[in-house]
Amino acid sequence: MLHGYRGRWAPSPTGHMHLGNARTAIVAWLAARSSRGKLIWRSEDLDTARVRPGLEEAAMADLEWLGLDWDEGPRLGGDHGPYVQSERSRKYQEALDSLAGSGSLYPCGLSRSQIADVASAPHGSTAPFPQTLRARNIASDWWDRHRQSDGAHAIRFKVQDETVSFTDLVHGRCTDHVSSTCGDFVVRRRDGVMAYQLAVVVDDIAMSVTHVVRGDDIRASTGRQILLYKALGATPPAFAHVPLVLDCKREKLSKRHESLRLAALRENGVEPQQIIGYLAYSCGLTESPRRHVIADLVANFNWSRISHDPWVLPDESRLISGLLDL
């Protein structure tokens, strides 16, 4: 590849690092290091209402405790910065201007309830944005009027009637008919904040990212993002969606799982080699759960070994005792 392997780890500073975050980060790190590539840390802090001071630094400390490092990022700098999304507004606006110039965007002043009133029959709450609501006969000067947020209009991307296909490094061939599953989607919110779908695509293009390794809960977004890559004239990266870690009730880990935070496990006497060994085994990268230094796993890393299924944790007491016994 022109740039070699360039991966990225892009957490949002909205919660503490837990075992599920760490598992995906470990896979992203191993994929980059086994390819002798680069790993970028990017802070995705656009959702300012949920961002909490100090969490980015805490996340870095947690992963460094596990033995992970990275080559570019907020502390290290690099040729593709800034590495904090809230500092990249100009890049997002340039992308919006480009998409508007190609006729791919339009303003939408409809509320969620107005959209739901139309979309609720016959599909229910999961219906895509109805094309019947797509703006028509837009005045030639609409982008001049809506280029800056007016607080009343979101900006949507026009989705064509086509099937998007990609080969996931974990799950194999995946397809998405975005017009049926999602419809025209928002790229800038009413309040002027850039939507996740646009921001991550613009950033990955600008940072020359060749491989996106992330949690399986984001796989459903990939079709939309591939459409944006193509609309912006860029080649999409390779994607790998790592299956999630679930709690003993088979629920996705979240901020409420305080005991499964890396910092909490550390306070309970769990060592980084125990967490690395347990999570590597949960992914299918080792044949048994035993202590490992993460560098020892690089040589044998292979995507074909990654499990396709979520990993369900035992209850808290069994998990901690199991980790301590490794």
Q: Are residues 187 and 247 in the same domain?
A: no
Assess if residue 204 is contained within a domain.
no
Q: How confident is the model at residue 130 (pLDDT cuts 50, 70, 90)?
A: confident
* Same structural domain, 52 and 108: no
On whether both 132 and 192 belong to a single domain, the answer is yes
Tens of pLDDT, residue by residue over 151-200, are 889 999 999 999 999 999 999 999 999 999 999 999 999 999 999 999 99
DSSP strand pairing (185-188 vs 154-157):
antiparallel
State which residues form the domain around 100. 88-199
Q: What's the total number of domains in the chain?
A: 2
Residue 66 has pLDDT above 50, yes or no: yes
- Residue identified by tokens 């008919």 is 177
Active-site residue set: 255
Q: How far is CA 7 from the centre of its chain?
A: 12
Report the amino acid identity of residue 74.
P
Determine phi and psi for 70, rounding to 5 degrees.
Answer: -150, 165
Same structural domain, 183 and 101: yes
Classified as helix, coil or strand, 56 is helix
Q: What pLDDT is recorded for position 117?
A: 72
Q: Which long-range contacts (CB under 8 A, 24 or more apart) does 79-85 make?
A: 80/40, 80/206, 80/207, 80/208, 83/40, 83/41, 83/42, 83/43, 84/42, 84/43, 84/45, 85/42, 85/43, 85/44, 85/45, 85/46, 85/199, 85/203
Helix (H, G, I), strand (E, B) or coil at 88: coil
Q: Are residue 62 and residue 95 in the same domain, yes or no?
A: no
Per the domain annotation, does 226 fall within a domain?
Answer: no
**Per-residue pLDDT at 1:** 39
Cα separation, 245 vs 216, whole angstroms: 10
Of 134, 164, 199, the residue that ends a domain is 199
Tell me whether residue 237 is in a domain: no
pLDDT by residue (tens digit) across 135-145? 776 788 888 88
> Mean pLDDT across the stretch 242-264?
89
* Residue-wise pLDDT tens digits, 23-38: 999 999 999 999 999 9
Same domain, 94 and 174: yes
